Structures are given as structure tokens and as C-alpha cells.
Amino acid sequence: MLLRALLHIRVQAPEFASGRAIYEAVRSNDDAVMTFARTHDGNASIVAINFSWQTRKVHITAPLAQLGIAPNAHYRVCTIVLASLETATVRGVRGTNLKSLNIDVPPYATVIVMLRRDDAEFPAYVRELIDRTQRMGLTKPLPTQRTGIQRQGGALHIRTRNFTAVVARGVLRELQLANGIRLPVGMDIIEGERKLWWGERFRLTAVRDVKVHIDERLVKFDGMFMKPDGKDGKRMRWEVTYAPTHDSRTLEVHFTLIPQDEIPPVRAQLYWELRFGEVDEWQVETVEGTLRDESHVTHPKGDMMRGWRYWHRSGLLWEHTVTPLNPTRPIISVRKGDIWMHVALPPLLEGIDNAFLRERTSDGEVGLMLCIALLDDKRAVRLSPQIQLKAMVRIAVGKMPIEEMRGIKPAILRGDGWQLHTESVNYIFENEHFQLCIGKWCGGGINWLVPKGKDASLISASYAYSDVGIYGHVRNSLGREVRTRGSSERDFEPDVFIRRTADGVEIKFVSYFRLSYKGWANIARPFVRYTVIYRLTNAPHFDVDVTVIPMLRQGKRPYFLAHVVHLPNIAKWRIVTRDGEREGAIDIGMRIVGRIWQSRITPLKEGTPITLTRHDGVKIAFTNIRADLPLHNLFLHRNQQGIATLFFAFLDGVANELTPLERRVHYRVEIGR
């Protein structure tokens, strides 16, 4: 979203398309914010980029003469905020008042202050953004006003002209709108079933000694977690900071946990909860499109309920690791009557393990809640005073017309020469050399790989499976004993993690083997965990890391466990082994069915590729093959239909003891080598 907005503005605004830049003469009072200006033929824009994780209140000075601003002329000033919520507001001002500007810049956001005379138009994209902002009611052009803070009873009222946040002992309790409407909101931090400290649940609301620090920019609360009996446990200090912006109905909330002692590596669950109470509707913008449903909390827990779009089970409605948030618009919204409350999370959830939306039916409360997982039991973490757990959200209130939301499309993540988008549950990566389709519904395996300018795919499937040793045998309908097969390709709901890298994107899937004979939704037991990571850039290759962990211990017997890649339409293969170069043909008319080459018999020469050539001459090579534990075998197989398959066999039928060791293999796929 940010890149798209910047591209539109760069093309449509003359000062960015062909103007000149002014750097040293445009100054701010904050080193964390970079400022500069662009000007062309009376059109000018001032840009502020925030490189910190906090909202910065910036005072900017700029020379009117260099910007081409006439002191006595009247100008329209459009403030464009490019953050999790994109907004644009317009106000009128005389040129002489533009010598200095005071603006709020959200964390890691870009703010563009665009200046136009009354007879000049803003670019089309900016006009569209202004209209959308006004329709959603997220911002209105109001004069800057210092935040008013009052104590009423045991609560602190953080008041601006647009809203009032009622906070008690660091916990957000209510949002009061300017029109008198009250929106109850709850907030807490709790442990899950996997405890971090004392084996007992603790809550932020149970902390007795809470201190408050107030200045004109923000309000900060801090305290120390205590054991339920009032005694110190392993000490953990917490901070909650509220930073309301003055020109919008937006409240920025930062939460920080600061360990006071060393805590050894532990797998735990720790959730920051935002409670909305009973709502009429909810919406989550994900990479696979917009999820939107009515909310009907029913009892007893476990009943099936029906909403707008689909059936779901009581409890968990959406989970980020299953259906990731749209990284360009990571927003969760709930509706009460005519009012929408929007919660924007950091793009790609930096620093957060997980997030999910669920129905609350315990502790005498009924309603909807957003859980932000600081720790989600997915990894062991070591905590110390130098390692802090942080999370941030922005809460906005306004109206969201249904007609506008119908036009929302799945996310598109772009970089230099590449883009990643979704079609239903397929993740499609495209660069200047190839298109790659990865299927979430098949455990994160590859569906197809097509070189640019070609139609046929080089890869038709990839997955991991085991059919010997781990799962035993069953009898089919004819009473015959058949081997049980567990495979990652049957997992339709793997955890998904998307992360931007310096020059591309990384997509990670965490899956568990499923049993094919029981249906595609059943987890195979004993558990086998499968992780696959794709590292993608604009290069004519991509890297793959595959990890399997059989979560069991069994005696010495033959096992088979492998990651496989199916390669259709292959005509020839070439491999450099320690005994010399080997090559051959793969054709439907060949009589050979089975293993064509095996590293166990003729080992692959270290550092050399496995190269396969298609009938049309296009080549695909597997290079940089390495494993943490030596592979039992690496072999090329041909089936009766003439399809080649490359097997990375962690276990290949050799009698061995099976232990829960992490088995990992890395390889690079090169196209057109």
C-alpha cells in the first residue's frame, strides 16, 4: 500500500515527477525524523519520514522563497499520512504561515504535506484519498489542540477535541466520542495454558501499585507484576503508553514488558487482549481477501453458528498464522450499531508471534476480543533485562460504508522487480524471470513454477511424506493390509509467516503430516512437524529450506521419510558425481521405472548441481544442496508416466532408531541454468 501510494504520487505530482529537491534548508527538531522538500513551478511538498517506533511530534521550518511560496497568497494544505491507516486531510492557510509546520508522524510512517494554490488541483490519487478519508470518518481537518488530561474518580480521561479515552490503572476502559456515544473497551495481559512464570494466571488488572507519568505528548503507566498472593515472583515491569493524535479519531497504544531477572528458555503463552464486548459485525483484512461476518456469541461453547460468509465453530474466528493479515493494510474492525472501531497492527506483525480474533464466553463476559500474542508457544525464548517484549496498535473510530468495502482485493506485496499476491489460498510470487505458485491448502507445497515467456510448469508439486515405519499398516475394505501414509500435502491449514528481507520476501509454512486414508483434515499420529521456507528475490533462482521433526522415539526398524519435488516434461538429466559425469534421458517410451540415480550408490560431487532439461530446452537446476544431518539418500526417480521426481530422503529404508531430531535440508532452484 505504501509503495503503491508513493508510486501514484511520484507519477502524478509534478514536484516529484520532474521537480528539484531541497534538503539542508528544510529542518526539523527531531533527529528520528528525516525531512526534505520537492518543488516545481509553484507546486511544493514537504516530506517527513519517521524512523522510530514512536509517534513523533515534529516542528518543521522551510524557506518560503526556495519553495516558491508567495507569502500573501492563499494555499490549500493537504496532509497525507501513509501508515497502517492511509489518510489525507485538507485545510486553508496563508502563505506566510507556512514558514513552520507542526505535524504528528506515526511510527515508521511517511507524511507528505502537499501545498497548492486555490486555483490548482491536487493529483487524482490524492483527491481519491481525501474522499475516502472523509467517507470513512477516520479524520477531519480540525485545529491542533493540546491533549487535556483530567482525573475523574479513579480514572484518567485523556481528552482531545475528537475523542476521550478513559483509562484506569493503565487499562483502557472506554472511548467516548464527541457526539456522546460511548464505546466500552477492555484491555488486559494474561498467560495462556502454558505459563511463563508461576504456574498461575496473572492479569494486568491485578497489579496494585501503578504509576502514571504525564506530558503534553503522551501518558505512560508502569507497574510491576506480582504473584496472586502479593509476593514478588520473577520480576517483570510493564509499561503502557497512550499517545492520542490531535487531528484524527486515533489512539496509539504501546505495550512493553521488561524482565528484571534472567528467565531461561521457555515455551509459553502470553497475550495482550483488547476486548470489544458484544458487537454486531467483525472484519479482518488478510492477504487472501477481506473476511467479514456477523457476530453471534452463543452457548454452550462448541455450538455451530452461522454468519454472513461461512460456518465457524464457537471460539476462534480468525488467526494470523493461518490467514495472515494484509501487510499493506493490517486492520481488524468491529461494528457496534453504525460505528466501526478499527485496530491497526504493525505491518507483518514485527515483534509479535501471532494475533487472533475470538469470542469471549468466560469470566462472566460475553463478546469479541482481539488477542495479540507476545509469546505463542511456537518457540522457546530466553528473557532478560536486555530483551523486551513490545507491541503497538492504533485504534480508530469512524464509519465504514459496506459499498466501499466490497471493492477490497487481496493484498499485493511489492519490491524491486517482484511482487507477491494471493488468489484464494494460493500465494503467487512473480519476478522478471519466473512465476511461482505456493499452495497453503497443501501444506505450503509448490503448485507450479513457470519461467517467464513459457506456458508449461517446471514443477508440479512438492511435499514431504512417510509411508514406511512411522505409521504402520491398516486393512482396506478388501481386508488386505496396506501401508499407512502421512503427508504434508494433506494439511489445508498450516501456519503461515511472511517477512520482508533486505532484497525480497520470505514465506514460511509450518505444517503437520495428515493421514490420507482418514480424509485430508486429520492430523497423523505420532506427530511429524514439517517446515518449509521460501526465500524469494528478483534473481532467476530461489532458496528452499525444509525441516522435518518426527516427534517420537521408536526402536530400530526401517523408516522412509523424504521431501520430494515432482518435475514433469523432463527430457534429460545430468549429474556430476564423485566418479564422474552421469547423464541420461527420461522419456515415456523408456522401460526404466524407478530410481535412475542414487547418491547412496554414486555420491553427488560436492558443490555441483543436479540439472534437468525439458523437451523445449528450458533447464532447471538444484544447487547448493546441504543438510545439517547427512541425508540417507538423494535420488532421481521416474514413474510409468515419465514424470521425474527428486527425493531428498532423510530416512530411506535403512534400519535405524527414530528420535525427535531436527532434520534439515537446504537447496536452491535455478531456472534457465
Cell of 124: 487524482
CA 477 to chain centroid: 45
Residue 86: give its domain's CATH number: 2.60.40.1180
CA atoms within 13 A on the CB side of 51: 6
- Residue 639 and residue 49: Cα distance in Å, rounded? 57
Domain assignment of residue 233, given as a range: 190-400
* Residues 445 and 551 reside in one and the same domain: yes
In the predicted structure, residue 170 carries a pLDDT above the cut 50: yes
Most confident of 159-168, 270-279, 336-345, 558-567: 558-567
Output the DSSP codes for 385-405: TTB-EEEEEEEEEE---HHHH
- Work out the pLDDT band at 673, boundaries 50, 70, 90: low
Cell of 201: 494466571
* Residues 595 and 657 reside in one and the same domain: yes
* Residues 509 and 432 reside in one and the same domain: yes
Share of the chain above pLDDT 90, in %: 21
**Mean pLDDT of the region 309-321:** 60
Question: 144 in a domain, yes or no?
Answer: no
In the predicted structure, residue 137 carries a pLDDT above the cut 60: no
* Listed residues 354, 373, 400: the one ending a domain: 400
Q: Which residue has the cell 519517521?
A: 50
* Listed residues 400, 425, 456: the one ending a domain: 400
User: φ, ψ for residue 232 (rounded to 5)?
Assistant: -70, 135
Give the model's pLDDT for residue 179.
73
Q: Per this entry, what is the length of the chain?
A: 673
Tens of pLDDT, residue by residue over 544-554, are 999 999 988 88
Q: Which of 384, 399, 374, 3 is nearest to 192 (CA)?
A: 374
Which of 231-245, 318-332, 547-561, 647-661 is the least confident region?
A: 231-245
Residue with more model confidence, 495 or 599: 599
- Whether the CB-CB separation of 13 and 45 falls below 8 Å is answered with yes
CA angle 235, 168, 237 (to 5 degrees): 15
Virtual CA dihedral for 139, 141, 146, 148, nearest 10 degrees?
A: -50
Residue 577: give its domain's CATH number: 2.70.98.10
- Work out the pLDDT band at 216, boundaries 50, 70, 90: low
- Work out the pLDDT band at 434, boundaries 50, 70, 90: very high
Task: Supply the mean pLDDT for the chain.
Answer: 80
* Listed residues 347, 375, 400: the one ending a domain: 400
Most confident of 273-287, 343-357, 550-564: 550-564
Cell of 669: 532452484
- Whether the CB-CB separation of 294 and 307 falls below 8 Å is answered with yes
Residue 339: give its domain's CATH number: 2.70.98
Question: 160 in a domain, yes or no?
Answer: no
* Residues 381 and 276 reside in one and the same domain: yes
Surface-to-core class of residue 97, CB atoms within 10 Å of its CB (0-12 exposed, 13-18 middle, 19+ buried): exposed
- Work out the pLDDT band at 497, boundaries 50, 70, 90: confident
* Residues 441 and 389 reside in one and the same domain: no
**Mean pLDDT of the region 374-382:** 76
- Residue 673 and residue 669: Cα distance in Å, rounded? 10
Tens of pLDDT, residue by residue over 452-463, are 988 889 999 999
Cell of 143: 485545529
Q: Which residue has the cell 516542528?
A: 59
- Residue 88 and residue 159: Cα distance in Å, rounded? 23
Question: 26 in a domain, yes or no?
Answer: yes
**Mean pLDDT of the region 387-394:** 84
- Work out the pLDDT band at 312, boundaries 50, 70, 90: very low
3-class SS of residue 560: strand
How many structural domains does the chain have?
Answer: 3
Tens of pLDDT, residue by residue over 617-664, are 899 999 999 998 889 999 999 988 888 999 999 999 888 888 888 999
* Residues 459 and 362 reside in one and the same domain: no
* Residues 491 and 374 reside in one and the same domain: no
Residue with more model confidence, 426 or 203: 426
**Mean pLDDT of the region 494-509:** 87
Question: 636 in a domain, yes or no?
Answer: yes
- Work out the pLDDT band at 502, boundaries 50, 70, 90: confident
What are the Cα distances from residue 662, in Å, to 216, 507, 524, 528, 659? 52, 20, 18, 10, 9
Most confident of 7-21, 86-100, 315-329: 7-21
In the predicted structure, residue 138 carries a pLDDT above the cut 70: no
231 residue type, one letter: K
pTM over 0.85: no
Which residues does residue 383 pair with via DSSP β-bridges, in sequence order? 263
- Whether the CB-CB separation of 253 and 240 falls below 8 Å is answered with yes
Which of 128-142, 500-514, 609-623 is the least confident region?
A: 128-142
Give the model's pLDDT for residue 302.
39
In the predicted structure, residue 359 carries a pLDDT above the cut 50: yes
- Work out the pLDDT band at 362, boundaries 50, 70, 90: low
In the predicted structure, residue 403 carries a pLDDT above the cut 70: no
- Whether the CB-CB separation of 456 and 449 falls below 8 Å is answered with no
Question: 354 in a domain, yes or no?
Answer: yes
* Residues 241 and 207 reside in one and the same domain: yes
For residue 68, give the DSSP letter.
T
- Residue 486 and residue 406: Cα distance in Å, rounded? 40
In the predicted structure, residue 246 carries a pLDDT above the cut 70: no
Question: 127 in a domain, yes or no?
Answer: yes
Give the model's pLDDT for residue 644.
93
- Work out the pLDDT band at 208, boundaries 50, 70, 90: low
